Amino acid sequence: MPTFTALRAFEDNYIWLLRNEDTLQAVAVDPGDARPVISWLGRHPDYQLTGILLTHHHRDHTGGVLTLKGATGCKVWGPANENIQGIDHALADGDTLSLLGCELQVMAVPGHTLDHIAYYCDAPGEPWLLSGDTLFAGGCGRLFEGTAQQMHESLQRLAHLPDDTSIYCTHEYTQANLRFARAVEPDNDDIRVRLEVVEELRRDGRITLPSSVALEKRTNPFLRCDQPPVIEAATRHAGRATAPGVETFAAIRAWKDIF
């Protein structure tokens, strides 16, 4: 399994740097800004950036690609989208690739954007997921291009990965997400305890990631749209009965947008 380092970018982005400590190769995930990656490489001159993985086309995830590619000659993998410059290998659902000694599976997860993909590694005993802006710790991405149906299906697909899968998303939104989750399920002790831990981490300026599939299924309202407390909260907020699944998801996503 590669070593993961979170490089901070902009206000709340993380650029995940994956590296193989034997080969001294590194891969950057969603580098919206080249500077944090170049700075890290400058402090670790033995490492070579050999690849970039992109999850979707938003500028805060792709803005540093051409600079890094020009500086290092690395290859770029990402979703097929004409708005993303610099991609060498366009990926679609079901594709696989080998990087840093890992076999990655490409999963189409539309909703936040129509081109969004995630990368899953089924490493024995240590599976992990690069979820981009689809599944966050305690939340999910806004519906900028896709529908509630698409996002709900994408999240359910990720929720069916093994419980011990580590989730590496790309924003430090956990505290705000869990405050919303607490409003949806005020009696959920798992959310209460997790929020207390996260608030302490953030007071110290520490990262709240990675998460896990098991933890998200217990505390993330967007993965709990079939649970009676979430359905009841969605119904109260929407002012009408919401059915389990997509209707409940759509209601709480709209609620989160104005929370």
152 counts as catalytic: no
Cα 229 → chain centroid: 25
Instruction: Choose, from 30, 33, 56, 115, the residue flagged as catalytic.
Output: 56
Residue 9, CA atoms < 13 Å, CB-side half-sphere: 29
171 counts as catalytic: yes
243 touches 230 (CB < 8 A): no
Instruction: Choose, from 33, 57, 112, 152, the residue flagged as catalytic.
Output: 112
112 counts as catalytic: yes
Instruction: Say if residue 61 carries a ligand binding annotation.
Output: yes
Instruction: Choose, from 57, 116, 152, 171, the residue flagged as catalytic.
Output: 171
72 phi and psi angles, rounded to 5 deg? -120, -15
57 counts as catalytic: no
Instruction: Say if residue 237 carries a ligand binding annotation.
Output: no
Closest CA to 32 of 3, 52, 18, 5: 52
Instruction: Say if residue 226 carries a ligand binding annotation.
Output: no
237 counts as catalytic: no
Instruction: Say if residue 58 carries a ligand binding annotation.
Output: yes
Tell me how many degrees the CA angle 247-250-251 measures, rounded to the nearest 5. 85
Instruction: Say if residue 88 carries a ligand binding annotation.
Output: no
60 counts as catalytic: yes
Tell me how many degrees the CA angle 249-53-34 measures, rounded to the nearest 5. 110
**Token pair belonging to 57:** 């086309």
Instruction: Choose, from 61, 115, 116, 152, the residue flagged as catalytic.
Output: 61
Instruction: Choose, from 30, 57, 58, 152, the residue flagged as catalytic.
Output: 58
Cβ neighbours of residue 101 closer than 8 Å, sequence gap 6 or more:
2, 20, 23
Within 10 A of 33 (CB to CB), how many other CB atoms are there? Answer: 20
Question: Tokens 């594709």 appear where?
Answer: 95
Instruction: Choose, from 30, 33, 60, 115, the residue flagged as catalytic.
Output: 60
Cβ neighbours of residue 169 closer than 8 Å, sequence gap 6 or more:
14, 131, 132, 133, 135, 136, 137, 209, 211
Instruction: Choose, from 30, 33, 115, 133, the residue flagged as catalytic.
Output: 133
Annotated binding site: 56, 58, 60-61, 112, 133, 171
Annotated binding site for Zn(2+): 56, 58, 60-61, 112, 133, 171
Residues classed as catalytic: 56, 58, 60-61, 112, 133, 171
